[in-house]
A = this chain, B = another copy of it.
Amino acid sequence: MRCKKCGRKAVTNLRAYRIALCSDCYLDFYKRMVQRSIKKHKIFMEGDEILLAVSGGKDSSAMASVLSNLGYEFDMLYIDLGIGSYSEDSRKKVEELAGIIEKDLHIVELREYGFTIPEVKDRVCSVCGTAKRYIMNRFARENGFTVVATGHTAEDLVSFYLKNIAGGQREYAEKLLPRIEPFDAKLVAKARPLFEVSEKENMLYVIIKGLPFKNEECPFAPKPEWKEIVYDIELKKPGFVKNFVRGLVTEAKKPLETRHCSICGEISSGEICSFCKIRMRLSKK
């Protein structure tokens, strides 16, 4: 398999884009993809003071590196959840990453608030989510940042969407946008610069770049049932995840002016309605 751009040996075949690429061309492709996404969806704006929430995982590490390459100024925030060696290892990866990309890293420890995640008995993931959102927003605002960027991927958004619609929580599903502006002075904007990038693409990027990242899942993470449903659909319909997430953030086309067919008088979007066009093409009468 050869790189479609330069002809060298390809390292990947992106089914969603039907393109094989070598490692250099892949890095270039990835960078352009993220840049286009940020521009098109106005994910970052003039005057933003950006704080990147990083976990040590492949997605946020890829985000930090590519944004740095694209010339964005930002600081990073790591929230230490106190999950034993999992948190310690993740923290080391993030510190290493900060050194490589030469960005300031802030660390907030959940234990400063009097508890750690392993002490939570019920609904651990829900409590952890609340804690992270609270700390990200408060730290950002108190330290002069105007937007918090997270490494949510296309798979994250699609699986949240399906889960929340099926769970009757359309109000959560509708928050799945590339950027959300604050509706209160206590809030900062939220940005998801990787919202149309897949996990596999992030993984490939961090591996080719040789970036530090922690590959294990959190020991408290449940079986990712909705994610697996999304992976299954992608297997059957390559490109589904990207297409679906793009479809979600695209506004519905305005209906065309109502017209009436000049032949039959029925409703039509043009001079002649679709049915009369078919009839003219096929009718033997």
Residues of A within 8 A of B (CB): 113-115, 119-120, 127, 130-131, 134, 137-138, 162, 164-171, 173-174, 183-184, 186-187, 225, 228-229, 232-233, 236-237, 240, 243-244, 246-248, 250-255, 258, 260, 265-267, 273-275, 278-279, 282-285
Contacts and interface: CB of A to CB of B under 8 A. Distances in A.
A49 to B, nearest CB: 19
Taking chain A's interface residues, is the majority helix, strand, or loop, or is none over half, making it mixed? helix
Given A130-B275, A229-B236, A283-B113, A260 B170 contact: no
Contact of A236 (B225, B251, B274, B282): B225
B131 A278 contact: yes
Given A130-B278, A258-B183, A237 B166 contact: yes
A53 to B, nearest CB: 16
Contacts of A171: 252-255
Chain copies in the assembled complex: 2
Contacts of A252: 170-171, 173-174
B170 A138 contact: no
Contacts of A131: 275, 278
B266 A170 contact: no
Given A165-B247, A233-B229, A252-B171, A120 B282 contact: yes
A169 B244 CA distance: 10
Nearest to A172: B252
A248 B162 CA distance: 10
Given A130-B274, A236-B225, A258-B183, A114 B167 contact: no
